[in-house]
Structure 1
Amino acid sequence: MTEQPGTTPAVGDAPAGDSSAGAGRVSAAEVAAVFRAEHGRAVAVLARVFGDLDIAEDAVQEAFTAAVEKWPAAGLPPSPAGWIITTARNRAIDRLRRESSREDKHAQAALLQAQDEPVEEGVVRDERLRLIFTCCHPALALNVRVALTLRLLGGLTTTEIARAFLVPEPTMAQRIVRAKAKIRSAGIPYRVPYEADLPERVRGVLAVVYLIFNEGYAASSGDELIRTELCQEAIRLGRLLVELMPDEPEAVGLLALMLLQESRRPARVAADGSLVLLADQDRTLWDRELIAEGQDLVRRCLRRDQPGPYQLQAAMNAVHSDAPTAEDTEWRQIVQLYDHLLALEPSPVVALNRAVAIAEVDGPAAALALVDDLDLGNYYLFHAIRAELLKRLNRRPEAAAAYKSALALTENTPERHFLQQNLNAL
């Protein structure tokens, strides 16, 4: 987020009495926590008021800058979100008045719209949904949708987003600027899609959130296997989607899937930072609270009986979480769930993952026959799985060649170490 020091005169800021109502001093960490929790909400409301994402984001940034200056001494206001929204709106109006006097037509239009739009802090559900669907509009490239979602709803800085996806900060900043410009110039509507368009658009929104989670769960490159902050941000967005769309079963399924996968995080990396496979994990380290919450959501999905891809994947992870040891895993049940998933979402990656389950039921030879029929030569997990199956079949030279192919296709350091160790052991 662009740093905007609070130099704009605070004309019409939230009354000082709001701040003094807070009890005790407020730490910088507490202000940061409010920022993360309320940034998306505030930007969503202000975007509706001004009809412009840049104006909304800059105004919210200025409001939080003012909060950093005022709250530590004055205390937390009774409604931090209301304080931020009111202060942001008034700062933006003050700025637009100055700019509109200089014949700035854009500022004049935004000011006119803002004067006609009342600010209602309680109008949250539709505003945040509108912002989510704006960020995830299909006219924008997928990587841009991810960046905008993290920036506007998650409150992550451009630096944080660039670091997470390992691109230069100027590159990420340019993507975000261009995306906002495209939203403005193409007239991308700031609204929830019409009912006929909703199912397809919801799938796109869920895909963006899961892409964020996956990059955190198994980083595509870098020195860490897991990027915890991305996993946590995706889960926070998943909770928000379930809150905003409680009748969308796939939103519930996605949240369940992420929670069940996240529950295994403490056991996925050894003390030395190396990767630990599911079968070798210390299951006493799994987070039982997350498992209980995820399983409860899976049961909610089952009662609705409207299965979708995320719900089916969540059910598979629920089966894993039920098994006290790897040997106790109900692999036949997982194969059945993969059969349903493959019928709903036929893809070579789903077929590859199903083959892993088949290996546990029918043996590595049956699984290898399925894997060798797949066209996934550019996917490192395809070669890593082939290598493991070939090793189990004692076809060591072929396994070594497959490990080398996998090594050539991954840039994540812990994964490379894992593959190299397996290659060396051959």
Structure 2
Amino acid sequence: MASLDARYAPDSSYAWLRLAMSLLLGTVACVGTWSVVVVLPSVQAEFGTLRAGAALPYTCVMIGFGFGNIAMGRIADRYGIVVPVVMGALLLGSGYLLAALAQSLWQFALVHLVLIGIGGGAGFSPLIADLSHWFRRHRGLAVVFGASGSYLAGVIWPQLITWGVAHHGWRTTHVAIGLTVLIIMLPMSLFFRRRPSVEHMAADDAASSSARGDLGLSANQLQWLLATAGFCCCVAMAMPQVHIVAYCGDLGYGVARGAEMLSLMLLLGIISRIGSGFVADRIGGTATLALGSAMQGAALFLYLWFDGLTSLYIVTAIFGLFQGGIVPMYAVIIREYLPAKEAGVRIGIVMSATVLGMAFGGYVSGAIFDYFASYRVAFLNGLAWNLVNLGLVCWLMMRARPRNSLGHSTPAAV
């Protein structure tokens, strides 16, 4: 029995296999947060709306995604990860099939809110929380790998969807997405039936309780501080991510160039996320988050000065490298300081705040464009929100002690 248990210990070969499967699952499940970005110009033309109106389905899918992260996270805490994965597959599959039949913008947006958004939530926070239980020494790296599924989705899906829309139209493409999600996610759910041991969960709870005492904040105080910081950083992050395709179209470079930039941004974001995992395992999640926030602000500032085709590729690449590791750090901090048995719902709450930030940022950037007929003010708006995030994170960093991979305090340097 002991040898059997050792096979499923933290950081075991099984844990790494589970990480790989989670990355694949997240890549498929997070399609909804990117498909709506790529079809934004087509939806605007189809339903005859302004840019802000065309961005409404994105806002809806992100609101649904945020709610889905909380709901699916709570379900995963109680019943394990299999149940939310199956639910997510069914919601996503039916959502894309119904989106293909939408005859008005409000129908298209409603489907994204209720089905695609909530269903996609199964592929983010619950998977991150589940992975965090299977790693100790490499928890930061595991969390960022799990979170990279959403970015890998942004690398792969926009190219496939761009091709599908160009050759078969956006409606047929949505049908194909729905069928693909069902075919892949439902069989994969069977792999995730094993749950972490009770002893391992108890040890993690004890470590996080000690860490929280050092920090000097209650669990709820820390959670809402992280939620506020996450909202602010993602309002800033949304400007390039949501509008880069439309921005390139407005500049005369074409939406295909914008889709390429989006994929480049997210591909390099994966590299950034993986790198941030290595850094977090050494200096802690809070310091890594502060570093990422500062670099994201620098990249946003560059967008104000460069709008040539080549320079946009370069600035977008820089933005991808700088911002990719930010969102997973909230999950790393939660697992350092908050109860392990509540990881799913607590990570879900903070991740939903980041998602709402993306939703608000995507919509308000479109509204600013409609008012000023320019994205320059929208970039300035994003930069202002990023500065608020940086201030909150730096305050938290000054209160936090660095912690090692086993959750023990590291003495301050003298």
Under a length normalisation based on structure 2, what TM-score does the superposition of the two structures give?
0.27
Higher Rg: 1
Under a length normalisation based on structure 1, what TM-score does the superposition of the two structures give?
0.27
Greater fraction of residues in helix? 2
- Bigger relative contact order, structure 1 or 2, given CA contacts below 8 A and separation 6+? 2
